A and B are shown apart, each in its own frame.
Chain A
């Protein structure tokens, strides 16, 4: 049998993080924190503790509502990664997971982050790391990545149907394994 994780990206450190028991909650908290920090940063308030505390205490609903949307994206990203970042055991699984998710899907995810960031920068009149660029980047990471990984999964399934990749009932028992 071929080495099943030979093709596609490994993204070892990211994969190890995503497989932590509470990675979905961690990533949701990270997304929430990054979005909140971006909002506060672009408000122009001074970084003095009293200013930040006052704004948070008076505008916390606004910050929480916007940041919660990104927290859901972070949670979804971790769940999707853990579900799809696998290595195949049969010809069909290799095509779907190795070539589909970990090659096509991951490459598409990187592309989406770049494209959305660029689109955000155009809304900021070409300014680098302006508000829309940063929020676009966060949207690319926390919404674009899971969408792209699912797209990779369906790319692999579509490709497998066209080239008639075969299932192997002897090796395809249970969920495909995670990368070693």
Chain B
């Protein structure tokens, strides 16, 4: 039982980390799929083949990934209370529910 809070913190961190990474990935995919010109890390090639020197503006892949991961991280943080309530209910009901169910064996 003493490990359970630590496990919850690990799971909560994994949740926020996952939404951050997925948000960044989705933002980068959006940049590739929707923008007419993409730059990466300040230098890139537009779709006409011209080499361009980017300035890290929001219109590039890195910028979109940053926006996506920021919004994703915020979403993960918003999810945490609901996640915590679910974990609290599950972990505190289980010690009561499990003996009831087990008592059916050999009724």
Q: Which residues of B have CB within 8 Å of A163?
A: 58, 64, 67
- Residue in B3, B79, B97, B102 whose CB lies within 8 Å of A44: B102
Q: Let me know if B4 and A123 touch, CB within 8 A.
A: yes
Question: Are A103 and B58 closer than 8 Å at their CB atoms?
Answer: no
Q: A147 vs B78: C-alpha distance in the bound complex, in angstroms?
A: 11
A-B pairs with beta carbons under 8 Å apart, 30 shown:
A7-B33, A42-B101, A44-B102, A59-B104, A94-B34, A99-B30, A100-B26, A104-B22, A104-B23, A108-B22, A115-B11, A115-B15, A116-B86, A118-B11, A119-B8, A119-B11, A120-B90, A122-B4, A123-B94, A131-B101, A135-B90, A139-B86, A147-B82, A154-B75, A155-B23, A155-B68, A155-B72, A158-B71, A159-B67, A159-B71
Residues in B neighbouring A94, C-beta threshold 8 A: 34
Residues of A1-18 at the interface with B, using a CB-CB cut-off of 8 Å, are 2, 6-7
CA distance A58 to B74 in the complex (A): 47
A131 touches B18 (CB 8 A): no
Q: Do residues A151 and B94 form an inter-chain contact, with CB atoms below 8 A?
A: no
Query: Considering only CB atoms, which chain A residue lies closest to B11 in the complex?
Result: A119
Nearest 7 pairs of A and B residues by beta carbon: A44-B105, A43-B104, A111-B18, A122-B7, A43-B101, A158-B71, A104-B26
Determine which residue in A44, A159, A162 has the highest number of CB atoms from chain B within 10 A of its CB, and name it: A159
Q: Choose among A45, A132, A147, A155 the residue that contacts B105 (Cβ–Cβ < 8 A).
A: A45
Question: For the complex, what is the distance from the CA of A159 to the CA of B68, rounded to whole Å?
Answer: 7
Complex: chain B residue closest to A158, CB-CB: B71
Give the contacting residue for A6; candidates B11, B33, B64; CB below 8 A.
B33
Q: When the two chains form the complex, which single residue of A62, A99, A112 contacts B100, counting CB atoms closer than 8 Å?
A: A62
* Smallest CB separation, B71 vs chain A (Å): 4
**Chain B residues within 8 Å of A155, by CB:** 23, 26, 68, 71-72, 75
Could you say which residues of chain B place their CB within 8 Å of the CB of A54?
Answer: 107
What distance in Å separates the Cβ of A119 from its nearest Cβ neighbour in chain B?
4
Encode contact with B along A144-164: 1 for CB under 8 Å, 0 otherwise.
000100010011001100110
Complex interface residues of chain B between 24 and 38 (CB less than 8 A to chain A): 25-27, 29-30, 33-34
Q: CB distance B26 to A136 under 8 Å?
A: no
- Whether A29 is near chain B, meaning CB under 8 Å from some CB there, is no
A128 CB–B CB distance under 8 Å: no
